[in-house]
Structure 1
Amino acid sequence: MDDGKSTLVGRLLYDTKSVLADQIEAVQRASVDKGLSTPDLSLLVDGLRAEREQGITIDVAYRYFSTPTREFVLADTPGHVQYTRNTVTGASTAELAVLLVDARNGVVEQTRRHATVLALLRVPRLVLAINKIDLVEYDEGLLRAIEKDFAGLARSLGFADDAVQTIPLSALVGDNVVDRSERTPWYDGPTLLGHLESVPVVGPEVAAPFRMPVQYVIRPRTDDLHDYRGYAGRVASGSVSPGDAVTVLPEGLSTTVTHVDTADGPLESAAAGRSITIRLADDIDLSRGDMLVAAGTEPRVTSEIEATLCWLGDKPLRPHARLLLKHGTRTTQVMVGAPESRVDTETLTEVDTDTLALNDIGRVTLRTADPLPVDDYADIRATGSFLLIDPPSGNTLAAGLVGNPLSVITRT
């Protein structure tokens, strides 16, 4: 909070010319009304009235921009502990996270909290953006000390050294954001945009075993496609090709892929993230909610799941509550056991608890009405995650992660 996230996002949009002229004019007018001599670029993303009045980010602000090299979806998430659930939302689908620290303050409690959430959700790459370096006179020694301090925290949370890039910058004046700053001759690393354009974004899901939850069974009723039976879905991990042996879960039936179809024609192979229709060699009773997986790499099929919950609901968790669990394309009833522990984000330890409140992260055991094919979240994010839903209202109460993805957290 107050470290300049929205200003940094605004600077990226402004310097990459991803903002319309009328938006820039509106920001300039609002900045003049506030008595500022330079445009307040945070106004480009802080759209809620409460955010502008308080000068903080509350909601998750999604912005889209592109360069000749890549297209980006950028989520500006809150820093305040009160909005940890919004941080979880933004991090849950991220391929890279930019974590800001104020150069004047260094690594603080909220830095540790956000790094813990990023490690918990297995965000594979991280940028430590040391912001407001203009306010510390571009002091190299101070910035190197912050980098060293955070490196120890990152290692303790399981981040590899090559997964973390430190970039000193000033979002307000633009140092090392899009253009390299002449005021940091001692820094020979990339600018923030340069790093975003060049960092590898092939996630671990690509190399993982094949998984595809079935969304829909396609049976055209036309003369030329009378015998067509296809199973449509989005590849959650791995890849699939005609001739691959697959298993249908939770039934455990085995068959072979004969065709991989798309609206644009057949494919020789489809990888994670691709929406496809699969045809199989055998007529199998297969419907929405089932999962196709690579033979020989089957996940466990179970009705009892040890999981980590990020509690998103305003009302606290009631032990032994009966809720709905959505995993992939299947929704089933579930009973939530009493919480075993929760994460204290200030001390980075697990402490005993008997409930989970808004923004808490804790461990529980779940019992589902139907057996589910689940992977550990640490292995495959897509099939190791789920949602808990309130049956009467349909509201999402928690984001769940199978297993204990933050095993480095110590128990007190």
Structure 2
Amino acid sequence: GHRDFIKNMITGTSQADCAILIIAAGTGEFEAGISKDGQTREHALLAYTLGVKQLIVAINKMDTTKWSEARFQEIIKETSNFIKKVGYNPKTVPFVPISGFNGDNMIDNSPNCPWYKGWEKETKTKTTGKTLLEAIDAIDPPSRPTDKPLRLPLQDVYKIGGIGTVPVGRVETGIIKSGMVVTFAPAGVTTEVKSVEMHHEQLVEGVPGDNVGFNVKNVSVKEIRRGNVAGDSKNDPPKGAESFNAQVIVLNHPGQVGAGYAPVLDCHTAHIACK
């Protein structure tokens, strides 16, 4: 959660289905995180704005509070208040007391907090559990729109010896497969997909939610970059537009916005200075 790495955090968060907010239970640490300029508050706000609608809260370093139930309840109350302001419904959020250092309540139920009856969340059905792993297993898979035109924002572009140019990113909508002719916007580059891989294994096709790498013909690493969006050239490829509707959030507002103000716009994996 370091200020210098917020850009990377935005890129990663824009590709996630669920966020785990790690909160330090230590005296002063929790309070600093949720203060007006605190990182905990900013991270929750970024996650919600970037479309991550499911949240798990892990309250860490509980061993430093001697597994105090009072401290755990105090943190739940305060955290519920601020995530509600951000847009999350606290009733849908599991709160899990953990010690990452000692492994308590991460995978197995810890004997150190006999008062802890477990977490519960109310989504379509009521789900309960004890550990962080169980909370992760209880994430509702979001809808995966395979029938829409392909949209794949690039996270990075690699040059791999003996293979060539390999863009990497998460399929948001549609399907990508070898043989498909893709167009990168706004670069205006069109090329054929030679192969699609995920975790070093060849895929017949990449579908929404898959983080894939795909090899493209006759395109140099210099022609495409992080933030470009790949689409199927034959099915409504992404194009430039005069204007579009957006949900916008302003962080570090200068007080007033006037001529010459040049903020950085973060949109999916792209980070662009604009006027």
Shared fold (TM-score greater than 0.5)?
Answer: yes
Aligned residue for 1:132?
A: 62
Tell me which of 6, 12, 24 is aligned to 1:101: 24
Q: Partner letter of residue 117 of structure 2?
A: Y
Aligned residue for 1:225?
A: none
Aligned residue for 2:124?
A: none
Aligned residue for 1:392?
A: none
Contact preservation (8 Å) 1:138, 1:184: no
Instruction: List aligned pairs for 1:322-341, cutoff 5 A.
Output: none
Q: Partner letter of residue 255 of structure 2?
A: D
Aligned residue for 2:4?
A: 85
Change (3 A) 1:162 1:242: farther
Tell me which of 262, 265, 275 is aligned to 1:364: 262
**Which ranges of structure 2 fall in alignment gaps of 5 or more residues?**
120-128
Instruction: List aligned pairs for 1:365-380, cutoff 5 A.
Output: 365=263, 377=267
How far residue 173 of structure 1 moved from its aligned partner, in angstroms, is: 6.5
Q: Secondary structure at the residue paired with 1:235?
A: strand
Deviation per CA, 1:303-339: give whole Å up to 9, x if none. xxx9x9xxxxxxxxxxxxxxxxxxxxxxxxxxxxxxx
Q: Partner letter of residue 250 of structure 1?
A: P
Instruction: Using the aligned pairs only, state the percent identity.
Output: 11
Asked if 1:352 is matched to 2:271, the reply is no
User: Could you tell me how far apart the structure 2 residues matched to 1:87 and 1:365 are?
Assistant: 15
Instruction: List aligned pairs for 1:240-259, cutoff 5 A.
Output: 240-242=176-178, 244=180, 246-250=182-186, 252=188, 259=194
Instruction: List aligned pairs for 1:137-286, cutoff 5 A.
Output: 138-139=68-69, 143-159=72-88, 161=90, 164-170=93-99, 175-182=104-111, 183-189=113-119, 190-195=129-134, 198=137, 200=139, 209-212=151-154, 215=157, 232-238=166-172, 239-242=175-178, 244=180, 246-250=182-186, 252=188, 259-260=194-195, 267-271=203-207, 272-278=210-216
User: Could you tell me how far apart the structure 1 residues matched to 2:186 and 2:251 are?
Assistant: 31
**Which ranges of structure 1 fall in alignment gaps of 5 or more residues?**
1-76, 78-82, 221-228, 280-284, 309-340, 344-349, 355-362, 367-373, 387-399, 404-412
Taking only aligned residues, the RMSD between alpha carbons, in angstroms, comes to 5.1
User: Could you tell me how far apart the structure 2 residues matched to 1:132 and 1:193 are?
Assistant: 14
How far residue 153 of structure 1 moved from its aligned partner, in angstroms, is: 0.8
Change (3 A) 1:296 1:97: same
Q: Partner letter of residue 241 of structure 1?
A: K
Deviation per CA, 1:67-121: give whole Å up to 9, x if none. xxxxxxxxxx5xxxxx532566567536544422326569524224223331326
Q: Partner letter of residue 215 of structure 2?
A: T
User: Could you tell me how far apart the structure 2 residues matched to 1:107 and 1:200 are?
Assistant: 25
How far residue 187 of structure 1 moved from its aligned partner, in angstroms, is: 2.1
User: Could you tell me how far apart the structure 1 residues matched to 2:118 and 2:201 are?
Assistant: 47
Deviation per CA, 1:245-275: give whole Å up to 9, x if none. 64343365778x5753569896421354222
Contact preservation (8 Å) 1:210, 1:237: yes
User: Could you tell me how far apart the structure 2 residues matched to 1:214 and 1:169 are?
Assistant: 34
How far residue 160 of structure 1 moved from its aligned partner, in angstroms, is: 5.0
How far residue 152 of structure 1 moved from its aligned partner, in angstroms, is: 2.2
Q: Secondary structure at the residue paired with 2:94?
A: strand
Q: Secondary structure at the residue paired with 2:12?
A: coil
Change (3 A) 1:110 1:262: closer
User: Could you tell me how far apart the structure 2 residues matched to 1:265 and 1:214 are?
Assistant: 18
Aligned residue for 1:114?
A: 39
Q: Partner letter of residue 33 of structure 2?
A: Q
Deviation per CA, 1:344-373: give whole Å up to 9, x if none. xxxxxx45179xxxxxxxx8347xxxxxxx
How far residue 212 of structure 1 moved from its aligned partner, in angstroms, is: 4.7
Change (3 A) 1:244 1:163: farther
How far residue 129 of structure 1 moved from its aligned partner, in angstroms, is: 0.7
Q: Partner letter of residue 41 of structure 2?
A: T
TM-score scaled by length of structure 2: 0.56
Higher relative contact order (CA 8 A, sep 6+): 2
Q: Partner letter of residue 116 of structure 1?
A: R
User: Could you tell me how far apart the structure 2 residues matched to 1:134 and 1:252 are?
Assistant: 55
Aligned residue for 1:385?
A: 271
User: Could you tell me how far apart the structure 2 residues matched to 1:212 and 1:154 are?
Assistant: 30
